[in-house]
Structure 1
Amino acid sequence: MKLSSLSFAFLLIAQFTYGQYNPEKPDLCQGKFYTEEDAKNLHADFAKRYSDKKSWEKHVKEIRQGILDGAELSNFTFKKPTNIVIHSKKDLNGYSVENVSFQSIEGIYVTGNLYRPIEISGLPPKGKSAGILCPHGHGTDPRFAAYTQQRCATLARMGAVVFAYDMIGVGDSKQSDHKIDKALKLQIINGKAALDFLLDLPNIDKNRIGMTGESGGGTQTFVLSAIDDRIKVSVPVVMISGYFFGGCTCESGMAIHKRPTHQTTNVEIAATFAPKPMILISDGGDWTVNTPTMEYPYIKNVYSFYGAENMVENVHLANEKHDYGISKRLAAYPFLAKHLKLDLQKVIVDGKIDESANKILSHAELQVFDEKHPRPANAVQGNEAVMALLVKK
């Protein structure tokens, strides 16, 4: 693609005026790539490239194509998940939990838990349900953690069908280490497959699909939301930053930010979701510290091109740190309820959202692969085998 003189000038500014240039990885923006001040100046320069819906949407096409090109997915054919197994259903208080695996590409399996609303009678709710993808952040098997279960169970009790799935290399998805070089590529493939799985479940309203995750799961949320129009509501938690690009290969290990045609940031990637509903949940203890004064106003300005400033929000918890704890969940629930038409009243007790009806299940209860349900025989194992498959694909 031929660059205009203006685009070329901005590209040079971004590459050489701002950021920590790494000669060993010149195409990557990783970690705290900019200083906070440089990020502000860079985005002020970026904002000169678009002033209305038409000029912004031209740039959106660059950003989306840049993600696909940088993640080596521009010529990739995304296929429906296969070898779907759903087992070990547990009926709880207003919701059920099942253990799930399916094949995203031949030899690679996505693993997770499916939370579905149930009525007191034990029968499925009438009509179609909203669907929500819930990727998680980094940690020791976060899908099994209480905070992930609380989020998914509460949303299911509100009427959503929720799918929480593993990052690669954690939980039941241990076919390779997490930090393989093409982790970003594989997690986009798995995210697409997870979305297909969710949409193909019975009685899912395809116009009421949301996605929410924290930290690395926040990155998965705004990246997948940028390239897949089927996601209608986006809730990235404690992740969107103008100067931080994610510290893991699954977030910034492939060249989705620096392209021959342009340079972008996670702020711009998140803004591609305009004018659909999005809430940024941030805190004072990590790289989202400046969200109320920098990232949120920047994204809100993009929403103004559509006359949709009221569709983007920010809840900033200045005294909190990096997590998807109760305060963040209490910010997310009303927003998701409003825009996905969920029943918030089902989780309110004495005027407040109450998670006490949720049951925290054990690792064994949520485990996908066990003696009765072994990992499929065709699942590839080891970093080299997984990388070879991704290079081939």
Structure 2
Amino acid sequence: MKIIILMFVFIASCGYGLAQESMLCVGHYWTEDEGNQMLKEFATEWNDRASWEARAAKIKKGILEGMQFDKMPNIEGNFNAIIRNKHEMDGYIVENIAIESFPGFYITGNLYRPASEDGTYAAILSPHGHLKDKRFTEDIQKRAATMARMGAVVFAYDMIGYAESKQVDHKMPIALLLQTYNSKRVLDYLLSRSDVDPERIGMTGGSGGGTQTFVLTAIDDRIKVAAPVVQVSAHFFGGCVCESGMPIHKSASHQTNNVEVAALCAPRPMIIVSDGADWTRNTPRVEYPYIQKVYALYNGENRVENVHLPLEKHDYGYSKRSAVYNFFGHHLDLNMGSIPYDEGYKEDFVTVLPRKELEVFTEEEPMPKNVLQGNSAVINYLKIRL
């Protein structure tokens, strides 16, 4: 009898996994023409604010259920923050930080904040895209430092499996869930700080960081301003398990794409940055007009923008950063005059630090002893069913 029961559980589990896999929309799931056509079909399902909000609720429900977000711990506070190596720079401060996402799992990063330690500031979540040591790169440091000097507390944190976040592999089965939950915990932490204004919270990232930006913004209204960069596409769903490895775009009762996920930001301010050499090349003609129509339902056309750079490629380079500086400066009430400007923002005040000065954990100061190590240890702790 015991063997029969175990076989039934195994078969049911396999069936669940196969059903889940059949709902995945991965990478270039549609062609450009199909993505364009699907947006037109989606648009037939709403024609006013009430019908859009009904569809929006279904999309949000699909995201939460698809990534099994309800299985994550419901934790208030308990960040057990580790903050080390304060670097006082030109108009900003950098600190190395780790917070506990849930018992035994740590989010590693750097905290950039204004040089003045008096007052209340905006806060910005800064996730990044797919690169092994991306948090330590020049573009991440320049972006975070510039926004800190403008008057924001900026938390730049690692993708799971990259840089210092080595408790799990990046391509583990629940990467999308873990990264989204980590972002929520970063948001929780920032809101717990006495120097942060809860009404001025922004989030921005490029590529996979753009996915993290529009996914958290879609499910958490505490993000007040969003800037997903080089990622919002009608036909491309993200090529990594951390973006499309769990069924957040499709269920037995609905189908959506990242354009509609991004549109859940409405009517909060959002800037979409696109370029001419990746899956965002059609944004001015396909994706952005759809999102504009959603904002129009709230008389909020002035709160959504698209900066399209047809001569550029897939990155979060200087011109893309500058567009976000202006947008965040306006909508988060930052001090744009604090950044040197001469026919463009000057970022030369930023000191790019070597990795060893930005690491939270070292041989002398290792990770806490309670760490969960390995994919299985984390999945078993969370009791996630795959």
Is residue 300 of structure 1 aligned with residue 296 of structure 2? Answer: no
Question: How many residues align structurally?
Answer: 367
Is residue 131 of structure 1 aligned with residue 123 of structure 2? Answer: yes
Q: What's 2:52 paired with?
A: 56
Pairing partner for 2:38 from 42, 49, 66: 42
Pairing partner for 1:273 from 262, 265, 268: 265
| Shift of residue 56, structure 1, vs aligned partner | 0.6
Any gaps of 5 or more consecutive residues in structure 2? 1-17
Q: What's 1:29 paired with?
A: 25
Structure-to-structure mapping, 1:279-358, within 5 angstroms: 279-350=271-342, 352-358=344-350
Q: Provide the aligned C-alpha RMSD in A.
A: 1.5
Q: CA 1:45–1:392 in 2, change beyond 3 Å: closer, same or farther?
A: closer
Q: What's 2:65 paired with?
A: 69
| Shift of residue 344, structure 1, vs aligned partner | 0.6
Structure-to-structure mapping, 1:189-338, within 5 angstroms: 189-338=181-330
Q: What's 1:360 paired with?
A: 352
Is residue 92 of structure 1 aligned with residue 89 of structure 2? Answer: yes
Distance, in Å, in 2 between the alignment partners of 1:299 and 1:51 is 13
| Shift of residue 36, structure 1, vs aligned partner | 0.4
Determine if contact 1:285/1:320 at 8 Å carries over to the other structure: yes
| Shift of residue 202, structure 1, vs aligned partner | 2.0
| Shift of residue 24, structure 1, vs aligned partner | 9.0
| Shift of residue 107, structure 1, vs aligned partner | 1.4
Distance, in Å, in 2 between the alignment partners of 1:338 and 1:360 is 26
Determine if contact 2:120/2:196 at 8 Å carries over to the other structure: yes
Determine if contact 2:71/2:382 at 8 Å carries over to the other structure: no
| Shift of residue 176, structure 1, vs aligned partner | 1.1
Worse-superposed segment, 207-216 or 377-386: 377-386
Worse-superposed segment, 354-363 or 69-78: 69-78
Return structure 1 stretches of 4+ with deviation > 6 angstroms. Answer: none
User: Given residue 235 of structure 2, which amino acid in structure 1 is its aligned partner?
Assistant: Y
Q: CA 1:24–1:117 in 2, change beyond 3 Å: closer, same or farther?
A: closer
| Shift of residue 372, structure 1, vs aligned partner | 3.2
Worse-superposed segment, 77-86 or 290-299: 77-86
Q: CA 1:130–1:23 in 2, change beyond 3 Å: closer, same or farther?
A: closer
Distance, in Å, in 1 between the alignment partners of 2:374 and 2:73 is 24
Distance, in Å, in 2 between the alignment partners of 1:314 and 1:71 is 29
Any gaps of 5 or more consecutive residues in structure 1? 1-21
Q: What's 1:14 paired with?
A: none
| Shift of residue 382, structure 1, vs aligned partner | 1.4
Pairing partner for 1:111 from 103, 108, 111: 108
SS state of the match for residue 96, structure 2? strand
Worse-superposed segment, 186-195 or 367-376: 367-376
Q: What's the TM-score, normalizing by structure 1?
A: 0.91
User: Given residue 192 of structure 2, which amino acid in structure 1 is its aligned partner?
Assistant: D
Pairing partner for 1:78 from 74, 78, 82: 74
SS state of the match for residue 352, structure 1? coil
Structure-to-structure mapping, 1:123-202, within 5 angstroms: 124-125=117-118, 127-202=119-194
SS state of the match for residue 99, structure 1? strand
| Shift of residue 169, structure 1, vs aligned partner | 0.3
User: Given residue 100 of structure 1, which amino acid in structure 2 is its aligned partner?
Assistant: I
Determine if contact 2:72/2:382 at 8 Å carries over to the other structure: no
Q: What's 1:3 paired with?
A: none
User: Given residue 260 of structure 1, which amino acid in structure 2 is its aligned partner?
Assistant: A
| Shift of residue 261, structure 1, vs aligned partner | 2.0
Determine if contact 2:205/2:228 at 8 Å carries over to the other structure: yes
Q: Deviations over 1:67-108 (max 9, x none)?
A: 110001135443134221111100000000001111111111
Q: What's the TM-score, normalizing by structure 2?
A: 0.92
Q: CA 1:289–1:321 in 2, change beyond 3 Å: closer, same or farther?
A: same
User: Given residue 224 of structure 2, which amino acid in structure 1 is its aligned partner?
Assistant: K
SS state of the match for residue 213, structure 2? helix
| Shift of residue 386, structure 1, vs aligned partner | 2.1
Determine if contact 1:78/1:192 at 8 Å carries over to the other structure: no
Determine if contact 1:84/1:100 at 8 Å carries over to the other structure: yes
